[in-house]
Amino acid sequence: MEGTLERHSLLQLGQLSKLSFDNRPPPSNAADSSSELRNELGSVGADADYGEKEFILSQDFFCTPDYITPDNQNLMNGLEISEDYSPCPTSPVKLTTAKSKRCRQDSFTLKPSDSTWPSKYRLDEQENDDIGTDEIMADDTERTGYVSRTAVALRCRVMPPPCLKNPYLMNESDTATDPFGYQRSKCASFLPASMAGDGLSRYLTDFHEIQQIGAGNFSRVFKVLKRIDGCLYAVKYSTRKLYLGSERSKAMMEVQALAVLGFHENVVGYYNSWFENEQLYIQLELCDHSLSKKSSLRISEREILVIMHQIAKALQFVHERGIAHLDVKPENIYIKNGVCKLGDFGCATRLDKSLPVEEGDARYMPQEILNENYEHLDKVDIFSLGVTVYELIRGSPLTESRNKSLNIKEGKLPLLPGHSLQLQQLLKTMMDRDPSRRPSARELMEHPMFDRIRD
Ligand SMILES: Nc1ncnc2c1ncn2[C@@H]1O[C@H](COP(=O)(O)OP(=O)(O)OP(=O)(O)O)[C@@H](O)[C@H]1O
Ligand SMILES: [Mg+2]
């Protein structure tokens, strides 16, 4: 590790050529130099320099352009790069050492203006992922853009790891069996398997997709197996391509809210997110199903109280962190091993109104928010939870029927036969027309009605 760090610093100082070749005999011909390059890329040769491989991977694996400004700008002149396609500035070291491998002509082009989005990297030619001597050319003048050549070579060699079994998992059912098993990763089609859209797919490289488990207005959700840890997750990705910066920023608010919130047993767990192919991918805790599946079933009052209490706990946690969910409804409450988890933070905003407000499903929204009164955003969530519980008790999804939903918004709750007056009264206050009269999440949690389910 120390060696690697030292190497890295020396590289920054422009001394890699010394490091790389001091202890090796100089190549006698082109073929030798080819095999040496192969070794450097870690593709063959057991005696390849491990430290160097590690460095190359860390810097180049995901084709991060090298933005180190050359000390000597004249180094660029030798490349005769046309003005239209001037490359990203690069480390002088990369251009002066024998490590510089020529990017296969017209195979991998990065226009400088596209440097922000990985999906703009284009791999136009993939039929041969082997690196041969014909790739080593002294003349770099045909380059049309810059992506580190080692990165190109490494990406060509990238393959999804096998789906590993996690030995710590107690419950066998927690692991999915990869239908293709180890064979899949051994087979020759790694490259197509991990390619999607405009380039290498992080999603397909890191995960094995098992099945679609949900879809919303803007996204699809899949049950996946993470190859490297052998655990199951849900990955949600936007169905629409987010080309504009404003669209991406808006989409990112969901993961930003989840990241700030951190862990709570009644909030869906968040692991990671990334952009790929102009779509936002979000890796989440996998739950069994959403509460909407239960809407059609008869639920006992005790079960209703448990659900209400758990989501009130989630809301208290969310509100205490200055965030309003603004889309509480059965489809956005997931169940995992009998525990309710609040999910889909796509409409989340700040309680202090410092962020734009985009209300969720209108059927669950109180009148004030439809009138664009955002004074009590926390109480919007309380109202929506009230409607959610009312829907669960009714046993059928709320219709779009204007009259019925209008009655609810007016705080006129029809009687719910077979349910305690205490519960009906609580629901009524949760759906009060006046937000200031609705209980806060904390007050809801402390309601004596929940004594019935407290241990
Ligand atoms: N972590 C998860 N575990 C299990 N199922 C999930 C998970 N996340 C989402 N789902 C399923 O996918 C559906 C859609 O997900 P989600 O609500 O997050 O998408 P959306 O596009 O933001 O929805 P909306 O249409 O409400 O805006 C959910 O209703 C649920 O059934
Ligand atoms: Mg949703």
| Cα atoms in the Cβ-side hemisphere of radius 13 Å centred on 313 | 16
Indicate the top mutation candidate among 290, 327, 337 to test ligand 1's pocket, ranked by most ligand atoms within 8 A of CB.
290
Indicate the top mutation candidate among 240, 329, 334, 365 to test ligand 1's pocket, ranked by most ligand atoms within 8 A of CB.
334
What pLDDT sits at residue 169?
A: 79
Cα–Cα distance for residue pair 148/214, rounded to 1 Å: 39
Close Cβ partners of 123 (under 8 Å, ≥ 6 residues apart): 107, 108, 155, 156, 195, 199, 200
Active site residue 434: no
Strands 289-290 and 333-336: antiparallel
* CA–CA distances in Å: residue 118 to residues 101, 224, 274: 21, 23, 11
Cα–Cα distance for residue pair 90/81, rounded to 1 Å: 13
Q: What is the pLDDT of residues 86-144, one digit of tens each?
A: 444 444 433 333 333 333 333 333 343 333 333 333 333 333 333 333 333 334 434 45
For range 258-265, the mean pLDDT: 97
Close Cβ partners of 22 (under 8 Å, ≥ 6 residues apart): none
**Cα dihedral across residues 184, 190, 195, 200: positive or negative:** positive
Decide which of 177 and 231 is more confident. Answer: 231
What does the block give as tokens for 350? 């700040």
Q: Which residues surround ligand 2, an ion (CB under 5 A)?
A: 216, 332, 344
Pocket of ligand 1, beta carbon within 6 A: 213-219, 221, 234, 236, 268, 284-287, 290, 331-332, 334, 343-344, 346
> Does 236 belong to an annotated binding site?
yes
Q: What is the mean pLDDT of the chain?
A: 71
CA of 331 to the centre of ligand 1 (A): 7
For range 356-378, the mean pLDDT: 94
What pLDDT sits at residue 407?
A: 76
Q: Which CATH superfamily is domain 202-285 in?
A: Phosphorylase Kinase; domain 1 (3.30.200.20)
Q: Taking the domains of the chain in order of start, what are their residue ranges?
A: 202-285, 290-453
Fold of the 290-453 domain: Transferase(Phosphotransferase); domain 1 (1.10.510)
Complex prediction ipTM: 0.98
Amino acid at 441: A
Residue/partner pairs of 45-53 with CB below 8 Å, 24 or more apart: 49/20, 51/3, 51/4, 51/7, 52/7, 52/19, 52/20
**Nearest ligand to the CA atom of 333:** 1
Indicate the top mutation candidate among 225, 236, 293, 336 to test ligand 1's pocket, ranked by most ligand atoms within 8 A of CB.
236
Answer whether 202-285 and 290-453 agree in fold: no
Q: Is the pLDDT of residue 38 over 60?
A: no
**Nearest ligand to the CA atom of 251:** 1
> Where does residue 129 fall: left (phi above 0), alpha (psi -120 to 50 degrees), or beta otherwise?
alpha
What pLDDT sits at residue 408?
A: 78
CA of 28 to the centre of ligand 2 (A): 63
**Nearest ligand to the CA atom of 269:** 1
What percent of the chain lies above the pLDDT cut of 90?
Answer: 46
Please pick, among 49, 60, 66, 327, the residue that the annotation labels catalytic.
327
Q: Is the pLDDT of residue 16 over 90?
A: no
Select the highest-mean-pLDDT range: 40-49, 149-158, 319-328. Answer: 319-328
Q: Is the pLDDT of residue 414 over 60?
A: yes
